[in-house]
Structure 1
């Protein structure tokens, strides 16, 4: 293995370990060309038979109003009064919201493969974003299943929202959360 390959592996490993889910962002806008660059890296995720089962919807600038209003509209009226305004205000402060969508395949094996591929794409996106100084948090909230939210956001029949990514330059980077070591989780079968 060349020294360049060793350095590249170390850099990938460092990025994986350093990445954090960021929930508090600066107000600085995220340039669309940068988001496209990151998506063009992310689409290199492994996917069976090169099906590339993903699609994206980006809400930024004034478009965040569509996303925030659609999300808050999913609350029951009593929840909307209590949580709606703070949540709306939070979502309007996040510079960009990216919905990552999967085309649903009626065959279970292919559905599972496609879901795994889209999850790998999201991780690729998060790592590439982190290298560019962007923070991301991957959300899978109840509103993803709400028919009104789905329609307003542009989700088509036969599509699953795999995640909503909130994206921006970090205001606060969370501290490291401990991980369970692989040694504690690994079962080795090495004899018959």
Structure 2
């Protein structure tokens, strides 16, 4: 007989990426800071804390989107405006790029853990999040717009907004199919 799942296990299994269907409710800086102050407890080698955050609150989103879409070719701007206008707010996450491969990978892992922590904490607050790594995160014009400095990488844009409907879960491969025991 399977034991009942812990609260944490339930949150992990219930969390979904919310890509659309955001409500008009604004996302406050206070909430984002509260979530980040817990999310930064992610494991990170040597406590390097390789992350940096840029928050675009709901009341600044329209101005941000106006500037962001100008980094795209004219023929894509209307499409990108529609795309970036859907979320209520953005959290852009950057990381220091250590030139040493091992440290770079450790730092990317740490930032990824932080993002997962953030998504789980946001889910508890009914704040939908999806982590986006679209090609614009590599565009020098976007990097300039965001104040990304040499030696930093944009790890992704977190699109955020409160939501009502929860997407259906998609099945996962049984762990046993990807599990072996040494020896």
What's the TM-score once normalised by structure 2's chain length? 0.91
User: Residue in 2 aligned with 1:3?
Assistant: none
1:88 Cα deviation (Å)?
1.1
User: Residue in 1 aligned with 2:160?
Assistant: 167
1:56 Cα deviation (Å)?
0.0
The 3-state SS of whatever aligns with 2:119 is: helix
1:39 to 19, 36, 41: 36
Structure (1 or 2) with the greater helix fraction: 1
Spell out the pairing of 1:150-161 with structure 2 (5 A cutoff): 150-161=143-154
1:30 Cα deviation (Å)?
1.2
2:27 and 2:58 in contact (8 A); partners too? no
CA distance, structure 1, for counterparts of residue 64 and residue 133 of structure 2? 14
The 3-state SS of whatever aligns with 2:137 is: helix
CA distance, structure 1, for counterparts of residue 85 and residue 74 of structure 2? 20
User: Residue in 2 aligned with 1:77?
Assistant: 74
CA distance, structure 2, for counterparts of residue 20 and residue 40 of structure 1? 22
1:70 Cα deviation (Å)?
4.1
Spell out the pairing of 1:25-104 with structure 2 (5 A cutoff): 25-78=22-75, 80=76, 84-104=77-97
1:100 Cα deviation (Å)?
0.6
The 3-state SS of whatever aligns with 1:75 is: coil
What root-mean-square deviation, in Å, do the aligned CA atoms of Structure 1 and Structure 2 show?
1.8
1:66 Cα deviation (Å)?
4.5
Matched, 1:123 2:119: no
What's the TM-score once normalised by structure 1's chain length? 0.87
Q: Structure 1: state its 5+ residue gaps.
A: 1-5
User: Residue in 1 aligned with 2:106?
Assistant: 113
Aligned length: 180
Q: Structure 2: state its 5+ residue gaps.
A: none
User: Residue in 1 aligned with 2:172?
Assistant: 179
CA distance, structure 2, for counterparts of residue 76 and residue 92 of structure 1? 17
Q: Output one character per residue of 1:134-181: Cα deviation in whole Å (capped at 9) or x when no partner.
A: 110000010000000110122111110111101111143211111101
